[in-house]
Amino acid sequence: MSLFRKKCIYCRKKINKGQEIFRNVKIPGFIGTKEKAFCCPEHANAYEREVEEHLKKSESEGSCCH
């Protein structure tokens, strides 16, 4: 049933069952990693790069609490 298909966390495209690529990735705002589904390895790699850039940018800008 297409109602329960997963979506790629990067492009939000629906993925057919069995074609998902799962990867443990860091989610900004959460501690640790979570397993998320991607439609292709390129989107998984791009998501990881974007999260790393976001985290580096937020560290260099500082926080309102420090």
Over residues 11-20, the pLDDT tens digits come to 999 999 899 9
Could you list the residue range(s) of the whole structural domain that residue 14 is in? 2-57
User: What is the C-alpha to C-alpha distance for residues 15 and 7, in angstroms, rounded to an integer?
Assistant: 6
At 4, the pLDDT band (50, 70, 90 cuts) reads confident
In a domain, 53, yes or no: yes
Domain-embedded: residue 64: no
The total number of structural domains in the chain stands at: 1
Which backbone phi and psi does 25 adopt, to 5 degrees? -130, 155
Decide: pTM greater than 0.85. Answer: no
Domain-located, residue 27: yes
In a domain, 65, yes or no: no
In a domain, 62, yes or no: no
Residue 8, phi then psi, degrees to nearest 5: -65, 130
Looking at residue 43, its amino acid is H
Residue by residue, DSSP assigns 21-58 as: EEEEEE-TTSSSEEEEEESSHHHHHHHHHHHHHHHHHH
Quick: pLDDT tens for 18-47.
999 999 999 888 889 999 999 999 999 999
